[in-house]
């Protein structure tokens, strides 16, 4: 019910504000593995702004599952737009963002049966395929991350684990922009990153810090050279597939509920709303920004649930 309300409000807002529409635009969203994550929600909200073509990348290993679930209607409920139509993904591309070009792919990876049946999945090849299929794009969204040692403390992380996290979670952002720039119309580019930096190990916190800094540098370089805006969303915790696999997402959601200024669970649609705004002409002067969409948790210097504050009169939600 809540999600439907959010979507309908957005639809009203769009019909009353033609300036925020994305008529005829094309977006490529890197990081749509199912209908639970931020990538899916961003795609959904962009389509409400009358986007013309939506191109997505599914998880390479599970691409067949994603495509057949899409075909068999497994995602139909979450594809439903307020006017009753279904969100259409024009094309789904396989992509492994840790490889820039075919020459970089080691033999054992090429022969790995999890990659069998897929081709042209390095960043350069995907950009070339998109160019061939659609000519150009207007919006590029990076909503992906991976770190093989994410559950290890940073102090115990190996060099390989650290570099793998940086490669998949932050260099992939630079690589995507580098390879897509030639086919990007002056437009926008977004990424999501996490705000609970201290809890994620394995180099993941480092990767997210790099993304934050790279957002500013890329905004300058791509703004000057290509008139492209680069922004990042720092989102609060969400029970996505990736987050559930790491293991302590429920704890982080509970922590946010107890300590954030807004005592409610964050929805993926709220992050999608912010992404849609940043991608729209309404945000035409916003670039190089990290926008927090986390119920305000980033603003808290302390955890108010600490026993130290037991006797302090902390404002409580008005439940009436
Ligand atoms: N879930 C959270 O609590 C949360 C909070 C803030 C930010 N984020 C960030 O949001 C982004 C999306 O994550 P999500 O939580 O929505 O989970 P998700 O599982 O929906 O998305 C993660 C995506 O990363 C992709 N991916 C991983 N390694 C890849 C690689 N080498 N090449 C290409 N794609 C690869 C997966 O295929 C998947 O589509 C990530 O950057 C994540 O760190 C998540």
User: What pLDDT is stored for residue 20 in this prediction?
Assistant: 67
Nearest CA to ligand 1 atom 28: 146
CB of 95 sitting under 6 A from ligand 1: yes
Q: Under a CB-based contact definition with an 8 Å cutoff, are residues 183 and 127 in contact?
A: yes
CB of 165 sitting under 6 A from ligand 1: no
Nearest CA to ligand 1 atom 15: 240
Q: Which of 143, 212, 237, 246 to mutate to test the pocket of ligand 1 (most atoms within 8 A of CB)?
A: 143
Cα 298 to ligand 1 centroid, rounded to whole Å? 20
Q: Which of 28, 31, 163 to mutate to test the pocket of ligand 1 (most atoms within 8 A of CB)?
A: 31
User: What pLDDT is stored for residue 191 in this prediction?
Assistant: 79
Nearest CA to ligand 1 atom 37: 59
Calculate the alpha carbon distances from 215 to 87, 127, 142 in Å: 29, 21, 12
User: What pLDDT is stored for residue 32 in this prediction?
Assistant: 86
Which residue has 């912010």 as its token pair? Answer: 274
User: What pLDDT is stored for residue 7 in this prediction?
Assistant: 39
User: Taking the chain (320 residues) in consecutive chunks of 10 residues, what is each chunk's mean pLDDT?
Assistant: 35 57 83 88 76 62 78 88 80 91 92 81 94 92 94 96 96 96 85 69 93 95 95 94 88 94 94 91 92 95 89 72
Cα 311 to ligand 1 centroid, rounded to whole Å? 40
Nearest CA to ligand 1 atom 24: 144
Q: Under a CB-based contact definition with an 8 Å cutoff, are residues 123 and 99 in contact?
A: yes
- Residues contacting residue 97 through CB under 8 Å, at least 6 positions apart: 30, 123, 144, 168, 172, 175, 176
CB of 237 sitting under 6 A from ligand 1: yes
Q: Which of 37, 148, 198, 246 to mutate to test the pocket of ligand 1 (most atoms within 8 A of CB)?
A: 37
User: What pLDDT is stored for residue 64 in this prediction?
Assistant: 76
User: What pLDDT is stored for residue 314 in this prediction?
Assistant: 81
Q: Under a CB-based contact definition with an 8 Å cutoff, are residues 191 and 173 in contact?
A: yes
pLDDT tens by residue, 281-290: 889 999 999 9
Cα 242 to ligand 1 centroid, rounded to whole Å? 6
Burial classification of residue 310, based on how many CB atoms lie within 10 Å of its CB (0-12 exposed, 13-18 middle, 19 or more buried)? exposed
Q: Under a CB-based contact definition with an 8 Å cutoff, are residues 86 and 79 in contact?
A: yes
Distance CA 236, CA 116 (A): 35
User: What pLDDT is stored for residue 168 in this prediction?
Assistant: 95
CB of 227 sitting under 6 A from ligand 1: no
Nearest CA to ligand 1 atom 4: 237
User: What pLDDT is stored for residue 281 in this prediction?
Assistant: 86
Any idea which residues carry the catalytic annotation?
Answer: 170, 208
- Sheet with 26-30: list strands edge to edge: 91-95, 53-59, 26-30, 137-142, 184-194, 229-235, 290-293
CB of 37 sitting under 6 A from ligand 1: yes
DSSP string over 265-279: ---HHHHHHHHHHHH
User: What pLDDT is stored for residue 12 in this prediction?
Assistant: 52
Question: How many CA within 13 A on the CB side of residue 257?
Answer: 10
Ligand 1 atom closest to Cα of residue 60: 37
Ligand 1 atom closest to Cα of residue 243: 1
């Amino acid at each position: 019910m809540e999600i439907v309300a959010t979507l309908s409000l957005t639809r009203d807002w769009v019909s009353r504000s033609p300036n925020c529409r994305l008529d005829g635009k094309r977006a490529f969203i890197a990081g749509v593995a199912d209908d639970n994550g931020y990538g899916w929600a961003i795609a959904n909200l962009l389509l409400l702004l009358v986007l013309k073509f939506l191109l997505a990348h599914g998880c390479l290993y599970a691409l067949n599952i994603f495509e057949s679930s899409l075909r068999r209607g497994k995602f139909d409920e979450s594809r439903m737009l307020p006017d009753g139509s279904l969100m259409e993904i024009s094309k789904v591309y396989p992509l492994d963002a840790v490889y820039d070009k075919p020459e970089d792919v080691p033999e054992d990876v090429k022969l790995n049966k999890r990659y069998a049946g897929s081709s042209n999945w390095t960043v350069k090849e995907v950009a070339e395929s998109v160019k061939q299929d659609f000519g150009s794009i207007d919006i590029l969204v990076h909503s992906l991350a991976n770190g093989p040692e994410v559950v290890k403390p940073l102090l115990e992380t190996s060099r390989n684990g650290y570099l793998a996290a940086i490669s998949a979670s932050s260099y992939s952002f630079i690589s995507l922009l580098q390879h897509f720039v030639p086919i990007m119309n002056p437009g926008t580019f977004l990424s999501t990153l996490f705000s609970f930096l201290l809890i994620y190990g394995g180099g993941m916190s480092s990767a997210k810090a790099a993304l934050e800094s790279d957002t500013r540098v890329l905004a300058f370089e791509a703004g000057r050279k290509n008139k492209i805006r680069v922004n990042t969303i720092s989102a609060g915790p969400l029970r996505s597939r990736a987050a559930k696999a790491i293991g302590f997402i429920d704890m982080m959601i509970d922590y946010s509920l107890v300590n954030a200024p807004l005592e409610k669970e964050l929805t993926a649609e709220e992050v999608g709303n912010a992404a849609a705004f940043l991608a729209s002409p309404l945000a035409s002067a916003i670039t190089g920004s990290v926008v927090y969409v986390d119920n305000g948790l980033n603003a808290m210097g302390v955890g108010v649930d600490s026993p130290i504050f037991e006797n302090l009169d902390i404002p409580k939600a008005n439940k009436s």
